[in-house]
Structure 1
């Protein structure tokens, strides 16, 4: 009899453990589903304070107590002098790291909204730290339009390029009043490219029929599976040329000193070369640009952050800040859902 009692007790414990794991998996699955559409928030950080903290760290190592006291008094006087001029310049630093779809353009728009609520026309400035090899015309056209909102409200914009601003990335840079780039940064690529694989001959070779029914002569001028006709090819090429013309017109409007006959051929240049071509105004790294600005303005870094989910808050204290660390728990949740559905 005790043998069966032991088995029953073991089974009960196992059932309780399974039930607890199932409840945990269900909770994780529910919280994970809430990740999509999480609200984004604006985070503002004073870069002047960051520089001052670095300086203070060195002060404690370099100077003795008496010297530090004298320095502190001098800096307090400087701070009071700056506080007495409330209309001093403010610089808002934004970042944009682009991919082919310009997928962070919504974040950029939100940051620009935030800046426009406080920025003072013809007084404040925006520095955009830009890195992008380009991408879709629609995505980067929108990004350039978002930056133009600042110029339209008389907020000076400086585009800072440390590595690359090509094609759509350079279109974004042209939306700024000034372009500053590191010596070996690549800029330009004022051109348009479209690549469409076509499998029509392969289908025909294997006796596979493919029909594409459209209404309108050029509804689908170039297709992946259908036959590309000379008329369709020419129409598609014309659209590319029209887009290139619009791109060149935008550059000509924003960069009147650029020689379009020389630079609008799709080629790229090092920033040290691009200065003479009118594509870039000055050669400097973004860090050096901000380092010099800190003495004449208050610098604020503006970034979009995603509010932490309840799941991340719960596990953050356990060292699971990295989302990838939660992957095993996520897999457990998915497995539980599959079992439950079956």
Structure 2
């Protein structure tokens, strides 16, 4: 009898677990679909209000307990005055604004798709007096990927908007290609700038395979369809053609930079070398030295500043299986980026 009760209890527990898993699964699928339907969300945050709120909190936290009540009263009075001024300003012509975008680039410039949509959103509402500040951080990557990202930034200038790029850490290679599209480049004193060059690296294990009597047949239609391969035997003609392609890409890179920054001595600077921000200024690679935070603080004292960011919904698929896949891919890309950056980093 006791065994039968135990078996029945086990069966009921297992059944309850299965039902619970099914219910949870249905909820996850439902929420995932709802999130997908909502799509991307454009998040706009007023930096002026954030700065004012932080300032008030800090003043309140450091004030004497006896003075806090008076301080709160002052805050309320100032807020009423500010709202009154804003109400009066609504009847006046719209003042210029500053829009802030962030671009953190990996080897594939994966953020470009969202970045392009953020740019489109700003172009739709911005006036010619508005300024777009891009906080850029990238050590470069694939030529076609960064060519597209830079082309997206060119749209801002084509729309007649003032553009400023702020580099706090690094804008090298493809990252600098993006930076040079702006009318003004501001770099932190030790930000890494430049690396106007092209690099390619192809391992070849043909001799290893040959040593173990393994043949690889590479069939192509077109003389230069495969100039260098990983498994096949590379020829001097193929290597020469590959180098020609690199030189041609470098010429295009130099031409792109020269068109946007004609005062630079491109031949002496397009050697693949890097400079720190303070060194880059006399080379005319940048226009001023300073941090993005200092610049935005300065602009907030003059006009309204807004950050614009397109955010994807946190679907359950991302939280579960795809999150692992994305994590592995991101880690791999970061590792490759570190290897790539090792050529220009100074220790």
1:33–1:223 distance in 2 versus 1, CA, 3 Å: farther
* Residue matched to 1:190: 196
Query: Shift of the alpha carbon at 1:3?
Result: 3.0
Judged with a 3 Å threshold, the aligned counterparts in structure 2 of structure 1 residues 225 and 192 are, in CA distance, closer, same or farther, namely: same
Shift of 1:175: 1.2
Query: Which one of 122, 141, 158 corresponds to residue 115 of structure 1?
Result: 122
Q: CA contact under 8 A between 1:89 and 1:296: conserved in structure 2?
A: no
Return closer, same or farther for 1:38/1:264 CA change in 2, 3 Å cut-off: farther
Q: Secondary structure at the match of 1:134?
A: coil
Cα distance in structure 1, aligned partners of 2:91 and 2:284: 40
Normalising by the residue count of structure 2, what TM-score does the alignment of the two structures yield?
A: 0.83
* Local SS of the residue matching 1:277: coil
* In 1, Cα distance between equivalents of 2:28 and 2:78: 56
Q: Spell out the pairing of 1:133-282 with structure 2 (5 A cutoff).
A: 133-282=139-288
For the Cα contact (< 8 Å) 1:38–1:306, is it kept in 2? no
How far residue 163 of structure 1 moved from its aligned partner, in angstroms, is: 0.2
Maintained 8 Å contact 1:127/1:158: yes
How far does residue 47 in structure 1 lie from its aligned partner after superposition?
Answer: 0.8
Say yes or no: does 1:296 pair with 2:302: yes
Contact 1:120-1:155 within 8 A present in 2 as well:
yes
User: What's the CA shift for 1:157?
Assistant: 1.0
SS in 1 for 2:99: strand
Which residue number corresponds to residue 98 of structure 1? 105
Corresponding residue SS for 1:139? helix
Counterparts of 1:326 and 1:9, CA distance in 2: 38
> Unaligned regions of 5+ residues in structure 2, if any?
325-347
State TM-score, norm by structure 1. Answer: 0.84
Closer/same/farther in 2, CA of residues 294 and 325 from structure 1, 3 Å limit: farther
Deviates more, 1:65-74 or 1:250-259: 65-74
Q: Are 2:17 and 1:18 aligned?
A: yes
Counterpart contact for 2:36–2:313, Cα < 8 Å = no
| 1:131 paired to 2:131 | no
1:60 corresponds in structure 2 to 60
CA RMSD of aligned residues (A): 2.9
1:301-312 matches, cutoff 5 A:
301-309=307-315, 311=316
Are the counterparts in 2 of residues 39 and 307 from structure 1 also a CA contact under 8 Å?
yes
What SS does structure 1 have at the residue aligned with 2:271?
coil
What is the CA–CA distance in structure 2 between the aligned matches of 1:273 and 1:201, rounded to whole Å?
Answer: 45
Between 296-305 and 137-146, report the one with greater CA deviation.
296-305
SS at match of 2:310: strand
Corresponding residue for residue 89 of structure 1: 96
